[in-house]
Each structure stands twice: as structure tokens, then as C-alpha cells.
Amino acid sequence: MKYKLLVIDVDGTLLNDQKQITPHTKSAILKAQQMGVHIVLASGRPTGGILPLAKELELNNYGGYVISYNGAQIIEMQTGNLLFEKRINPELIPYLDKKAKKNGFTIFTYLENSLITDCADDPYVQQEANLNNMHIRQVSNFPNAIDFEPCKCILASDNEKELVGLENHWKKKLAGVADVFRSEDYFLEVVPPTVDKGNTLALLMEMLKLTREEVIAIGDGITDVPILQLAGLGVAMGNARDSVKVCASATTLTNEQDGVAVAIEKAILSAIRPAEVPLDQLNARGKHALMGNLGIQYTYASEDRVEATMPVDERTRQPFGILHGGATLALAETVAGLGSMLIVQPDEIVVGMQVSGNHISSAHEGDTVRAVATIFHKGRSSHVWNVDVFTSTDRLVSSIRVVNSVMKKR
């Protein structure tokens, strides 16, 4: 499979204009994850404003990541670990506040699940708090209240001309101290130096040992341009400005037309899921069989390769909360069995003859494992399959050999 990482902007990309993930988009993202593609949600939102979306998409089960504050943080969803963080020197806050007051701008920042400001009634503050489901903390003296290192500060105003003027001034004056940019016509953001989505994505790619050719990025805004240019395939949304579209390798439909889903289907799902194998029907038929009872779902099938996922939960774990070896072997026999059925003649059937495996590491409750079966020997009377089972972070759990016997129907 060519692509291993899919980076998706949130507002204007993942979400429609009602700030919702449509069923079509959610389904496409889940299918991509089941294929082993890891998802990154990259946004200017604070971490707390992205986590509910990440959990809705099950990034915690499939080894996904969150890039928040426009690149100031990386969160590993499966563990909750903070992999990277960069913050603003709080000594800069009094200066930012002085300039904001002089120009009549509102200034605010974030701390955990709170938005801190001395202008709680500002409509842009209220809009931002509602968007991220945050509590507004009204303070009387903004610089004195910021006794921590913020990930970013935002100045808000309807006076776009004045915001542009201050942006140009600060790009020179604050060079090397902080970076500034307008994320919206009414927002001027101040972030730590060298922080943007592209630089942080490059850092994550280095951690994961991925090349550009293994990454897709989808976005709609100016702040998405660095990831669109860094990724091997950069896809601009149909609702993006022309200045963003020219920086991308391709354009998809708008966020109101499930543009993310369409891009995933074209770049990922169509390439790795042959249409002639009715996986949806096979999964539905197996719902009340062993594979359904274990939560096994076929995700890819061809004549020499079959993949499926299985959750590590109360059905498949042993008493200590880790994946049961018997469930792992059942998963292996399931994918190898389908593989053999795809290549036998219409008058032939397949039965399992032998299965043996080595359990190399463990998968813990809450994870979703992925089995990849590849044909090793295809004879007239028997098939031999190698089945590797991986965690959602691509750690090898088990390596299994399955031998199937090919028999004539009676």
C-alpha cells in the first residue's frame, strides 16, 4: 500500500458548514484506518477542541495523531502522550496586550479547557469558545493572568486593515521570537517561532520514519499550504481559495459535498480494494458467525492478499486485558480461508488443515489489530498462507502459518 499517513485539516475540510462530520466522510476515514492508514487531524484549534472529533473517528483505536494549535503540539491518540510541544515566552504577553489595547483589538489565549480574555462579551471570543466547547474565563488584567507559557495568542477585530498592518509590523519586529499570521480575516495569531503545520508534520514523519510519497494531506486554508506542499499528494478542498489550490497537486469537492471522502476513495480505497470482491456483503453474512462474534471485519481482498481487523475487547481478550492467542489464530484462519476461497474453482471447497503461530508481542484492550494474509504456496490440493497480525501502530503481534486443503465438492 502506497500511502501510510493521511493528514486532514478540520474546519472547512473535515467538517461541513454545520461543523459536523458527515456519515460518508466518517465511513471513508474508518475504512482507510482499517486498511492500516494512520490519520492525523491538523488544526489551529486548541487540543481540547480537536480531541472529541478524533475520538469520534476512533483515532485512539487505530493509532492516529492530533496536531493542534497550528503545529504547537502533537498528541498520540492511542496513549494520550504529548510527543511534541512548543510554547510562547510569557514575557512577550505584556507587549502583545499593549499593542492589542492600543489598536482596540481583543486578545485571548487558552489554558486546558478554558479560553482566557478580558473581553468575554466579544462575539469572536464567544464564537471561538462555542466552537471548541470551552469555558470563557474573564480576567481583569490579561498580562497578569497569563502566568504560564501559552501555545498561542489570538488578536481579534473587524478592522482587517489594521490587523494586516500589525501583522506586517510584527513579522519584522518579532522575527525569531514569535511567528504571526492571519488564520481568518478577523484573527491575527501569534505562535512560537517556526511553528506551523508543515514543520510539525515533518517532525512527525521523521518520528514515524515516513517519506513524502507515503503521505496525503487535505486542506482548505492558507495555514494548510505547508502540509499540502510537504505531502506526496496534497489535495485542496473545492471550497479553498485559488491561492491554496495552486499549491496542491489535486483538488477535490467542497466540504459540503464530502470532499474528504471523495479524495480518500480516489487516492486510497479504490487502489487497495478491488470492486469485484463484495466485502460489505461478506462482512454482513458473517455477522452471526464466528467472525461476527469476534468483531472481525474484512477490509481488503485480492487473489494473493487478504486483510481484516479485529477489536481487542471483552470478546477477544484474556483475563489480563491483552489479546487472546486463540482469537488471534481464529483471525488468521478467517483471512486465510477467504484468500483460498477466492482462488479455488467453482466446484472446489476449502477446509483448514493446519495452523501454527508465534506470538511475538501483545496487543492491549482498546486496540484494534490488523491481519495481513499473503499466499506462500498455491498448489492443486493445498494452499499455504503467511498471516502477520499488527497493532494499530504497526507493531507485529503474531506471525502465523495457515495450511488449507482444497477439496472437490461432493
Over residues 73-109, the pLDDT tens digits come to 999 998 999 999 999 999 999 999 999 999 999 999 9
Over residues 303-347, the pLDDT tens digits come to 889 999 999 999 999 999 999 999 999 999 999 999 998 888 878
Confidence label for 272 from pLDDT (cuts 50, 70 and 90): low
Beta strand residue intervals within 103-214, DSSP E = 106-111, 114-117, 135-138, 153-156, 179-184, 187-191
CA distance 152 to 111: 10
User: Beta strand pairing status for 396-408 and 233-236?
Assistant: unpaired
Answer yes or no: is pLDDT of 32 > 90.
no
Angle, vertex CA 201, rays to CA 200 and CA 206, nearest 5: 100
CATH no. of 279-408: 3.10.129.10
- Single pTM value for the model: 0.74
List 58, 76, 307, 333, catalytic entry: 333
- pLDDT attached to residue 273: 46
Answer yes or no: is pLDDT of 25 > 50.
yes
Rg of the chain in Å (alpha carbons): 25
Residue 39: strand pairing partners: 6
Residue 31: how many CB atoms within 10 A of its CB?
Answer: 21
Confidence label for 302 from pLDDT (cuts 50, 70 and 90): confident
Over residues 248-257, the pLDDT tens digits come to 999 999 999 9
Write out the three cell numbers for 395: 507493531
Those residues with Cβ within 8 angstroms of residue 188's Cβ, 6 or more apart along the chain or in another chain:
105, 154, 155, 156, 157, 163, 166, 167, 180, 181, 182
- Give the rounded percent of residues in the chain with a pLDDT score beyond 90: 84
Give the H/E segment covering residue 101. Answer: helix 93-103
CATH no. of 90-191: 3.30.1240.10
Examine the residue annotation and report whether 184 is marked as an active-site residue of this protein.
no
pLDDT averaged over every residue in the chain: 93
Over residues 148-201, the pLDDT tens digits come to 999 999 999 999 999 999 999 999 999 999 999 998 899 999 999 999 999 999
Answer yes or no: is pLDDT of 278 > 80.
no
Least confident stretch, 122-131, 216-225, 267-276:
267-276
The CATH superfamily label for domain 5-83+195-272 reads HAD superfamily/HAD-like (3.40.50.1000)
- pLDDT attached to residue 275: 40
- Give the rounded percent of residues in the chain with a pLDDT score beyond 70: 98
Can you give the residue ranges of every domain in the chain? 5-83+195-272, 90-191, 279-408
Q: Which tops the pLDDT comparison, 272 or 396? A: 396
CA distance 10 to 164: 24
